[in-house]
């Protein structure tokens, strides 16, 4: 997958400046504290990874950023504006798209219909068609299956469709939750190569990924979550060489 694609992120205040800032964020499920005051930032143009064991709070963080979960305390700032009181629809309108864990495509709709749902903010049909063409250039398999129902696709193809659907809104920032989960190894490399192309075209990415080796390979920086707290952070290359990280997540 060497062909570039023409996705262009909307302009933000300053290239290289913090695009997303999470400050002392706390989230609770009933009486259980899922996030205990985490802070992180993602700068324009970066791929930043969040790694950690199941239940560490990674998915909770992503869902809270896009306002699918309530905030107990703390702040989320995107491009200089607070997100605490906005709706999930407004978050998408401001330039953030989430590719959820498990993909959540519509199995009884065709590939094209799934993509069109992601283009709700396009006011012109030609703009939607242009974006679909961009997605197909990124994922040629989807072009071959445009009339096929989403539920008949392989796991890897469904992940491509989920990413493509999120890109239909032409986000400035893409949140990816476990993109390699349940996917054949031969397609995982294609998906991560596509992620790298998306970032190279100007879309900032916050990545949650169970495959720590891949997450650290493709990201510039990373945060390690443990039981709802940031346990460690730094350049991905440094974390990949850290003995504690290697022992816990990379097999020694």
User: Could you tell me the pLDDT band of residue 8, with boundaries at 50, 70 and 90?
Assistant: low
Average of per-residue pLDDT across 135-154? 95
Residue 34: burial class (beta carbons within 10 Å; 0-12, 13-18, 19+): buried
- 9 assigned to some structural domain: no
Task: Tell me, yes or no, whether 89 lies in a domain.
Answer: yes
The answer to whether position 106 is within a domain reads yes
pLDDT reported for residue 223: 97
- Comparison of pLDDT for 207 and 185, the residue scoring more: 207
Residue 5 domain-assigned? Answer: no
Above 50 in pLDDT, residue 1? no
Contact between 120 and 128 (Cβ < 8 Å): no
> Does the pLDDT of residue 3 top 60, yes or no?
no
- Non-local CB neighbours of 194 within 8 Å, separated by 6+ positions: 1, 138, 139, 160, 163
**Statement: residue 96 has pLDDT above 80:** yes
The tens digit of pLDDT for each residue in 154-168 reads 999 999 999 999 999
Q: State the average pLDDT over residues 211-218.
A: 94
The answer to the question of residue 88 being in a domain is: yes
Structural domain count, the chain: 1
* Predicted local confidence at residue 14, as pLDDT: 46
- Does 163 fall in a domain? yes
Reported as a single tens digit per residue, the pLDDT across 18-31 is: 999 999 999 998 88
Residue 2 lies in a domain: no
Q: 48 has which bridge partners?
A: 206, 221
- Kindly report the CATH number assigned to the domain that includes residue 196: 3.40.50.300
Q: How many CB atoms lie within 10 A of CB 81?
A: 10
Domain-embedded: residue 7: no
Domain that holds residue 133: 18-249
Give the pLDDT band of residue 175 (cuts 50, 70, 90). Answer: very high
């Amino acid at each position: 997958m060497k062909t570039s694609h023409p996705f262009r992120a909307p302009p933000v205040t300053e290239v290289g400046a913090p695009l997303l800032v999470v400050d002392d964020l706390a989230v609770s499920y009933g009486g259980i504290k899922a996030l205990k005051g985490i802070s992180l930032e993602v700068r324009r143009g970066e791929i930043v990874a969040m790694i950690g064991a199941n239940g560490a709070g990674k998915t909770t963080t992503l869902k809270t950023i896009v306002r699918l979960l309530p905030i107990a305390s703390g702040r989320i700032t995107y491009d200089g504006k607070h997100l605490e009181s906005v709706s999930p629809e407004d978050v998408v309108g401001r330039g953030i798209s989430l590719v959820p864990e498990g993909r959540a495509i519509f199995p009884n709709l065709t590939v094209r219909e799934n993509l069109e749902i992601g283009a709700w903010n396009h006011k012109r049909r030609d703009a939607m068609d242009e974006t679909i063409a961009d997605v197909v250039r990124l994922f040629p398999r989807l072009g071959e299956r445009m009339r096929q129902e989403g539920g008949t696709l392989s796991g890897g193809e469904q992940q491509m469709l989920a990413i493509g659907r999120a890109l239909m809104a032409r986000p400035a920032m893409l949140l990816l939750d476990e993109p390699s989960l349940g996917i054949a190894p031969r397609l995982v490399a294609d998906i991560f190569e596509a992620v790298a192309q998306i970032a190279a075209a100007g879309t900032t990415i916050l990545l949650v990924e169970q495959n720590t080796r891949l997450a650290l390979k493709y990201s510039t920086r990373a945060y390690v979550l443990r039981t709802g707290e940031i346990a460690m952070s730094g350049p991905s290359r440094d974390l990949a060489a850290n003995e504690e990280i290697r022992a816990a997540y990379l097999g020694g």
